[in-house]
Structure 1
């Protein structure tokens, strides 16, 4: 009998508590109700683009801005510097003479390069690298060179003779109507595209 009464008391207490929780959660539609461990979803760190207003001596050095210019001569993690080869004719020639593809010429890398070429390059250059991509046919614009045959580069020489460094430099900065693809392709992906383009250069 005593055990039954104890169970009823526990059940009644649970029902009252659940009802109270539901009531507090529903009384204001904008309320999130009871919150548990709020510090797990409220960021402790400063938001990058929010203004800073504080009396803290360290944060005063931020001068009202959270996002700061990186210190001089520093490089972000995972970022490859390309300062030695500026977007000039001289930088292009230097890249052509000095840069070599660091990736091994494996079937997997070549297949990956083919994929990236098809996605980012073939709309203009064509899947066979013949300069007859579907955008060329639809938009009717000229000047997209073929990678094989006797097509000439606008910077001199034949397209089929371009070195890996020159192709990489062009992907990095763009040329003529072609924009830079540095934001679309990582350095490794660019080298894979270079590898595939050099396969297309061999087409007779």
Structure 2
């Protein structure tokens, strides 16, 4: 009898209130949820994650690279100069970025003998360019080098999506400084 009474009272719909909610903001967010629609805000004149105005540059950022990845853009890139002052470039940071992104193929000494080549024993199908002794690499304009880093060239993939504009220019400055250092002893020996 007592069991029947407990079941009857338990199934009664008299009290279905869940009680007080402790910290309701944990379940019911007052803020906007990630990736939720912002259409109502846009209609109210509030714009989040809107595209920047055409031609503007964010504070502290460098302008974007103006040339496309085609033969005309590659040819035009030769006139572009490095906007960074080489003396102001942190060469330790530039070297770090180079070793992470470029050294795997071009090597720590810029000799084209990185871990992916290993003198022909690595998995890379062709020898990367020697950035110190190859005449094409040593005479390559800064803008053309930047274009190649941004979009890639031959078997080398582009790094435009992985590196900021400033980081790519720092790598160009690092390579040019190392090329000048390698050429200096050779010039001194000739004199």
In the superposition, the TM-score normalised over structure 1's length comes to 0.62
1:43–1:86 distance in 2 versus 1, CA, 3 Å: farther
- Counterparts of 1:105-184 in structure 2, within 5 Å, are 105-106=86-87, 109-137=90-118, 138-149=122-133, 151=134, 158-184=136-162
Q: Does 1:88 align with 2:70?
A: yes
Q: Give 1:115 deviation, angstroms.
A: 1.2
Q: 2:43 aligns with which of 37, 55, 58?
A: 58
Which residue among 32, 36, 47 is the counterpart of 2:34? 47
Q: CA deviation at 1:73?
A: 3.0
**1:89, distance to aligned residue in structure 2 (A):** 1.7
Matches of 1:142 and 1:113 in 2, distance apart? 26
CA distance in 1, matches of 2:178, 2:146: 15
Residue 189 (structure 2) aligns with = none
Structure 2: 5+ residue runs without aligned partners?
A: 1-17, 184-191
Q: Residues 124 and 131 of structure 1 are in contact (CA less than 8 Å); yes or no, is this contact kept in structure 2?
A: yes
- How much has 1:107 moved relative to structure 2? 6.6
Contact 1:161/1:201, CA 8 A, preserved across alignment: no
TM-score normalised by structure 2 residue count: 0.65
Q: Measure, in 2, the Cα distance between the counterparts of 1:105 and 1:72.
A: 31
Report how many aligned residue pairs link the two structures. Answer: 157
Q: CA deviation at 1:194?
A: 0.5
- Structure 1, residues 157-198: CA drift from partner, whole Å, max 9, x if none? x11101111111111111122222122211111111000111
Per-residue deviation, 1:201: 2.5
Mapping of 1:180-195 within 5 angstroms? 180-195=158-173
Deviation at 1:131, TM superposition (A): 0.8
Equivalent of residue 82 in structure 2, options 79, 88, 101:
101
